[in-house]
Amino acid sequence: MTYIEDIGKHVGEEVTLRGWLHNKRSSGKLRFLIVRDGTGYIQAVVFKKGVSEETFEAATELTHESSFTVTGTIRADERAPSGYEMDVISLEPLQVVSKEEEFPITPKEHGIEFLMDRRHLWVRSRRQRAILKIRHEIVKAVRDFLDDDGFTLCDTPILTPAACEGTTTLFEVGYFEENAFLTQSGQLYNEATAAALGKVYCFGPTFRAEKSKTRRHLTEFWMVEPEVAYATVEDMMELSERFISFIVQRVLEKRQEELETLERDTAQLEKITPPFPRISYDEAIEILQKKGSEIQWGSDFGGGDETLLSKEFDKPLMVHRYPSAIKAFYMEPDPERSEVALCLDVLAPEGYGEVIGGGQRTANHDLLLSRLDEHGLSREVFNWYLDLRKFGSVPHSGFGMGIERAVAWICKLDHVRETIPFPRMLYRLTP
Ligand code: 4AD
Ligand code: MG
């Protein structure tokens, strides 16, 4: 089996490729077919005199996105975008797209809703392929980094009995005689496995019934969440900067071609190396007020505030010690200043905003209990979680990074909807 990505190893050889017609140009006795097979693109040249009548006819009739196999000799060609071309010997159509119902996505501009309705076909475009390749590279970099840093993958459940990140964004599902919720985060379970294995992570789909229609929110997204026993919020800042830098540098190393397809300015990405700037929430509020934001101490940043802040720096910005009142129930208060929490958010540069959220978890049993009560969360369903504070409680910390937010930033996309093969959003459940 030969794939286009390996075509350079077959110069002078006769090979068979199996793919789809990306584009076609005709000129007299020549047919120029751009073949794509998922791994790349190559021009296949059909010369009337060099092939059977059937092959020439088939090449002439081939329509956009028709599937076929094509056999020919590979030739190096400096002018070709891929560096190679195929001189066709024979061509076998598999399924020819009818001329009555052509492939709906053409090089002309389509509206976003038209494309989203045809996401199952849109993913075949060069640009979408580049994004999905980069997403894959990011996911692989995430795993490589954590695996090589001594973390153990411990999968966490998707069906859960309770909220982790606030009760307003829960998806409820029937669970036999009870109700269950789709997980908002694997963190609480990570805290249990971290006490067993030291350094753990979970990586899977998470769900938020977000009623917001922004360019940063999906209702189903993938989150990677490391959790470390005996670690502090400062340790998490150090881990976040190494983690993000590793991922960005890996994408730069392995996905130049895809970044080029997206016309990504890679100079911005080259700057992503430790250390990252660190500011407290207090300092962030000062910066925002100086920039003209109306924000007051005590409020959470809006999307606009995050954009303002992240435009101030060329590297991801780490903001720590937010007011406890605007953060989740499990945040450890700062012992020096109990109204702020030992938490951090990492805001991606170029206006992208929050990609990571995390911090240190409440280690004390009684404090955690009172936080549960304050948040109106049932002691009963959190009993197991409270156990972790009864049996060898230690300071511990972790964070979560949303993969789609990271992909949107690294690819410099306008919206997270293009970062996942089939996005789920407030008004979109299909295809
Ligand atoms: O800040 P969040 O809500 O933190 C948590 O869930 C923690 N329990 C994680 C932890 O400490 N283990 O979410 C973490 C990240 C955000 O920074 C963002 O990147 C992403 O998850 N995220 C979303 N991505 C897309 N759509 C949404 N609706 C998202 N909500 C959060
Ligand atoms: Mg957050």
- In the reported structure, the alpha carbon of residue 346 is separated from the centroid of ligand 2 by a whole-number distance in angstroms of 9
Count of positions (residues) in the chain: 431
- In the reported structure, the alpha carbon of residue 149 is separated from the centroid of ligand 1 by a whole-number distance in angstroms of 22
316: nearest Cα among 294, 292, 343, 348: 348
Mean pLDDT of 359-380: 96
CA 225 – CA 356 distance, rounded (Å): 9
8 A C-beta contact, residue 323 and residue 298: yes
- In the reported structure, the alpha carbon of residue 345 is separated from the centroid of ligand 2 by a whole-number distance in angstroms of 7
pLDDT at residue 81 in the model = 86
CA 269 – CA 13 distance, rounded (Å): 39
- Ligand 1: residues with CB < 6 A are 164-165, 185, 187, 208, 210, 217-218, 221, 223, 225, 354-358, 398-402, 404-405, 416
- In the reported structure, the alpha carbon of residue 407 is separated from the centroid of ligand 2 by a whole-number distance in angstroms of 17
Q: Which residues surround ligand 2, an ion (CB under 5 A)?
A: 357
pLDDT at residue 108 in the model = 86
Taking the CA of residue 75 as centre, how many other CA atoms within 13 Å lie in the half-sphere pointing to its CB?
Answer: 13
- Nearest bound ligand to CA 343? 1
The one-letter amino acid code at 390 reads: K
CA 70 – CA 379 distance, rounded (Å): 65
- Nearest bound ligand to CA 402? 1
- Nearest bound ligand to CA 231? 1
- In the reported structure, the alpha carbon of residue 397 is separated from the centroid of ligand 1 by a whole-number distance in angstroms of 15
Is residue 82 over pLDDT 90?
A: no
Query: pTM to 2 decimals?
Result: 0.97
pLDDT at residue 416 in the model = 98
Q: What are φ and ψ of residue 265, in 5° steps?
A: -80, 100
**DSSP string spanning 273-308?**
-SPPPEEEHHHHHHHHHHTT----TTSPPPHHHHHH
- In the reported structure, the alpha carbon of residue 225 is separated from the centroid of ligand 1 by a whole-number distance in angstroms of 9
Mean pLDDT of 104-132: 96
Nearest CA to ligand 1 atom 27: 217
Taking the CA of residue 325 as centre, how many other CA atoms within 13 Å lie in the half-sphere pointing to its CB?
Answer: 5
Nearest CA to ligand 1 atom 9: 400
Nearest CA to ligand 1 atom 2: 357
Q: In a mutational test of the pocket of ligand 1, which residue from 344, 405, 407, 415 has the highest number of ligand atoms less than 8 Å from its CB?
A: 405
Is residue 338 over pLDDT 90?
A: yes
Nearest CA to ligand 1 atom 17: 356
**DSSP string spanning 43-74?**
EEEEEGGGS-HHHHHHHHH--TT-EEEEEEEE
pLDDT tens column, 272-310: 999 999 999 999 999 999 999 999 999 999 889 999 998
8 A C-beta contact, residue 183 and residue 156: yes
pLDDT at residue 210 in the model = 87
Q: In a mutational test of the pocket of ligand 1, which residue from 156, 168, 223, 416 has the highest number of ligand atoms less than 8 Å from its CB?
A: 223
Confidence of residue 92 (pLDDT cuts 50, 70, 90): very high
> Residue 91, class by beta-carbon neighbours within 10 Å (0-12 exposed, 13-18 middle, 19+ buried)?
buried
State which ligand 1 atom lies nearest to the alpha carbon of 226. 12
8 A C-beta contact, residue 266 and residue 252: yes
Q: Which two structure tokens, joined as six digits, stand for 281? A: 């929430």
- Nearest bound ligand to CA 208? 1
- In the reported structure, the alpha carbon of residue 86 is separated from the centroid of ligand 1 by a whole-number distance in angstroms of 47
Kindly report the number of other CB atoms within 10 A of residue 408's CB atom: 26
CA 35 – CA 86 distance, rounded (Å): 10
CA 323 – CA 42 distance, rounded (Å): 56
- In the reported structure, the alpha carbon of residue 336 is separated from the centroid of ligand 2 by a whole-number distance in angstroms of 23
Confidence of residue 164 (pLDDT cuts 50, 70, 90): confident
- Nearest bound ligand to CA 185? 1
Q: Which two structure tokens, joined as six digits, stand for 69? A: 């196999």
Mean pLDDT of 69-90: 95
Report long-range pairs for 286-289 (Cβ below 8 Å, ≥24 apart): 287/312
State which ligand 1 atom lies nearest to the alpha carbon of 356. 17
Q: What are φ and ψ of residue 286, in 5° steps?
A: -60, -45
**DSSP string spanning 112-164?**
HHHHHHTHHHHTTSHHHHHHHHHHHHHHHHHHHHHHHTT-EE----SEESS-S
8 A C-beta contact, residue 194 and residue 398: yes
CA 68 – CA 91 distance, rounded (Å): 7
Is residue 167 over pLDDT 90?
A: no
3-state DSSP assignment of residue 100? coil
Mean pLDDT of 124-139: 98
